[in-house]
């Protein structure tokens, strides 16, 4: 595919109106052709107007039609996999083989959501039949389904250039719900974004859908993101990135004349707790495994395990030694952007400035944007007295926290703010302590893992990728997994309708054979 660098607004390729940019190859710190267009409020308005015009027809496509559309997107992504991965590798410094796997995951998500759509359970169909003879007054027939919330704006993420980007889970779940999508491409990987956007637009055209079902815009600075959040035709926003960026969008959305939901995924250190018997039995194994997972993606993953808490005792020295050995042997690797690299360096400096001891570093960096791994250590009291130590440092760094006893371990657990995940390593004789720890973690995270690490994560019906603030802005929803579709749905009740006027999914006789509750049964 020949990259044009244009914005893709409906069926149109739109040239720059607000300047241009080139992608950066972070491995060589050089710019890559071609130039990519920036747009502004006028282009957001064009895309939003199209998305609104497309919404009624697209949200009323049959389940079979919508599922087939999602599968065509998956087919198009698979057809472009090698080209997409090669371009993403140039723009991120990540291995091409890893990115081919990420592209395959993105295609798989669209197929998974196609099955969700076909089965229809996401509609949560409910029927409470009329009771004309009920006393003291009759009950009318009531029927309920979930419908799409409206056109949505999705902000692509920087750290996963495919599976959290243009063709990521947010786009797949929004389209599955029946929402039309405007995607704000991340400037860290504009070429990869264009390839994905063209795969989606091709599917729109193949199925004869309204051109406004999908658009992709791009801009410099904050103006285009603010324009998306401000636009009165946009009814929801998703964002993956920093707490500062996410909360700026969230607050802006609440100041609209008609406030809208902003579903953010922002920050998490994914604490790991090693209970005493597990530490004694498997300290070295856990320490090595923890650092191995921390180093994945050069530590640039929302589920990167960053803080490990262990009680002083047998096995602690083996744990510490294993972590030091793994960190010391780790080569420096290219980070995604100059901004992320700079923030990582400043984050390490900030941790040391508030009392963290640097106990191991990886091989020296050769490239300007390479991240050197680091292991820092503090005791539990220092962590409790310096909340900044529990802040995310986005990169290949880990903090080992040693606590004096079980009570201090529980106090440290209580000190954490909301997290995407937490992990517990335990043996049978640790169960009593685990039972005390569990309710503390349940209040602070959306996913708890036992005898494994938070990363990687499966994409399933039981997946939860969310948690209390500041992990997300709304802990009721997940941004990964099949139930992420619920972010883009709202309930509508139909009362006293003649059968011919009802949506097909709610008609008598259940013509589509979908799961429905009748009087709660």
Angle CA 454–460–466, to nearest 5: 50
Counting other chains too, the contacts that 492-496 makes at CB distance below 8 Å and 24 or more residues apart are 492/144, 492/145, 492/146, 492/147, 493/142, 493/143, 493/144, 494/142, 494/143, 494/144, 494/145, 495/140, 495/141, 495/142, 495/143, 496/130, 496/140, 496/141
In DSSP terms, 36 is beta-bridged to 21
Phi and psi at residue 394, to the nearest 5°: -80, 100
Helices (H) and strands (E) in the chain, counts: 14, 22
Task: Look up 102 and say whether it is catalytic.
Answer: no
List beta partners, residue 37: 20
Residue 369 CA to residue 372 CA, distance in Å, equals: 10
**Cis amide linkage into residue 136, ω under 30° from 0:** yes
Q: Closest Cα to residue 475, out of 264, 301, 270, 267?
A: 264
CA nearest to 428, candidates 405, 406, 451: 451
Asked if 314 is an active-site residue, the reply is: no
Helical axes 223-230 vs 243-254, angle rounded to 10°:
40
Q: Provide, for the chain, the percentages of residues in helix, strand and coil under a 3-state DSSP scheme, each rounded to the nearest 5.
A: 45, 20, 35
As a whole number of angstroms, the distance between CA 96 and CA 100 comes to: 6
Strand order in the sheet with 142-148: 489-495, 142-148, 126-128, 517-518
Taking alpha carbons only, the member of 17, 69, 79 closest to residue 201 is: 69
Catalytic residue among 91, 280, 302, 370: 302
Total residue length of the chain: 521
Which segments within 46-86 are labelled E, that is strand?
none
Of 265, 280, 370, 377, which one is the catalytic site residue? 265
Quote the CA–CA distance of 411 and 400 in Å, as a whole number. 16
SS (H, E, C) 352-394: HHCCCEEEEECCCCCCCCEECCEEEEEEHHHHHHCHHHHCCCC
Residues assigned a catalytic role: 265, 302
């Amino acid at each position: 595919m020949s990259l044009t660098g244009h914005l893709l607004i409906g069926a149109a390729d739109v040239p720059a109106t607000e300047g241009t940019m080139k992608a950066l190859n972070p491995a060589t710190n050089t710019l890559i052709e071609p130039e990519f267009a920036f747009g502004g409020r006028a282009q957001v308005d064009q895309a939003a107007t199209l998305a609104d015009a497309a919404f009624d027809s697209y949200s009323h496509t049959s389940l079979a039609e919508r599922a087939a559309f999602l599968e065509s997107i998956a087919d198009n992504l698979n057809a472009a996999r090698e080209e997409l991965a090669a371009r993403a590798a140039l723009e991120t410094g990540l291995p091409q083989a890893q990115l081919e796997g990420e592209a395959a995951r993105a295609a798989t998500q669209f197929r998974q959501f196609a099955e969700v759509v076909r089965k229809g359970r996401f509609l949560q169909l409910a029927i409470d039949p009329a009771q004309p003879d009920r006393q003291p007054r009759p009950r009318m027939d009531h029927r309920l389904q979930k419908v799409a919330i409206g056109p949505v704006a999705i902000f692509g993420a920087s750290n996963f250039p495919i599976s959290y980007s243009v063709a990521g889970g947010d786009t797949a779940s929004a389209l599955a719900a029946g929402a039309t999508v405007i995607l704000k491409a991340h400037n860290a990987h504009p070429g990869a974004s264009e390839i994905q956007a063209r795969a989606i637009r091709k599917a729109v055209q193949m199925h004869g859908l309204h051109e406004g079902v999908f658009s992709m815009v791009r801009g410099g600075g904050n103006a285009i993101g603010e324009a998306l959040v401000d636009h009165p035709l946009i009814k929801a926003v998703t964002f993956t990135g920093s707490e500062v960026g996410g909360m700026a969008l969230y607050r802006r959305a609440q100041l609209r004349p008609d406030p809208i939901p902003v579903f953010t995924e922002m920050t998490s250190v994914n604490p790991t707790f090693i209970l005493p018997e597990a530490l004694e039995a498997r300290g070295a194994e856990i320490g090595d495994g923890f650092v191995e997972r921390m180093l994945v993606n050069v530590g640039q993953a929302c589920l990167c395990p960053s803080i490990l808490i262990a009680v002083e005792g047998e096995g602690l020295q083996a744990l510490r030694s294993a972590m030091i050995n793994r960190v010391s042997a780790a080569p420096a690797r290219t980070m995604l952007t100059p901004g992320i690299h700079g923030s990582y360096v400043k984050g390490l400096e900030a941790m040391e400035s508030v009392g963290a001891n640097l106990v191991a570093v990886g091989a020296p960096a050769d490239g300007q944007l390479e991240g050197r791994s680091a292991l820092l250590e503090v005791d539990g009291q220092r962590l409790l007295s310096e909340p900044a130590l529990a802040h995310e440092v986005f990169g290949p760094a880990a903090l080992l926290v040693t606590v004096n006893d079980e009570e201090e371990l529980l106090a440290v657990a209580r000190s954490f703010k909301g997290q995407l995940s937490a992990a517990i390593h335990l043996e049978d004789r640790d169960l009593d302590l685990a039972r005390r720890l569990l309710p503390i973690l349940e209040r602070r995270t959306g996913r708890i893992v036992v005898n494994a690490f938070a990363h990687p994560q499966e994409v399933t019906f039981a997946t939860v990728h969310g948690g209390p603030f500041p992990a997300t802005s709304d802990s009721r929803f997940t941004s990964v997994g099949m139930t992420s579709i619920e972010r883009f749905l709202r309930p509508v009740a139909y009362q006293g309708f003649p059968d011919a006027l009802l949506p097909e999914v709610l008609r008598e006789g259940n013509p589509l054979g979908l799961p429905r509750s009748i009087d709660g049964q």
